[in-house]
Amino acid sequence: MGEKSVQKKKYILDTARKVFVEKGYKNVTMKDIVEACEISRGGLYLYFDSTEQILLEILQMEAEETDDIFSENITEGDTAADILTLFLKEQKKELLQKNTLTVAVYEYFFANRSTDKNNMLRKQFEAGVRVLEKLIEMGISSGEFYCENPKGAASNIMYVLEGMKINAQTFGISEKKVDEQLLYIMEGLIID
| Nearest distance in Å: CB 3, its own copies | 36
Nearer to its own copies, 34 or 158 (CB): 158
Report which of 15, 109, 1 is spatially closest to residue 46, judged by C-alpha positions. Answer: 1
| Nearest distance in Å: CB 29, its own copies | 15
Nearer to its own copies, 47 or 126 (CB): 126
Give me the residues that bind its own copies (CB under 8 A), please: 24, 26, 103, 106-107, 109-110, 113-116, 119, 121-122, 125, 148-149, 151-153, 155-156, 158-167, 169-172, 177, 180-181, 183-185, 187-188
Nearer to its own copies, 49 or 162 (CB): 162
Burial degree of 156 (CB within 10 A; 0-12, 13-18, 19+)? middle
Question: Could you give the C-alpha distances from 66 to 7, 11, 23, 72, 99, in angstroms and in order?
Answer: 20, 19, 23, 10, 15
Go through 35-55 and write b for each residue having 16 or more CB atoms within 10 A of its CB, e for each that does not. ebbebeeeebeebbeebeebb
Nearer to its own copies, 57 or 126 (CB): 126
| Nearest distance in Å: CB 35, its own copies | 22
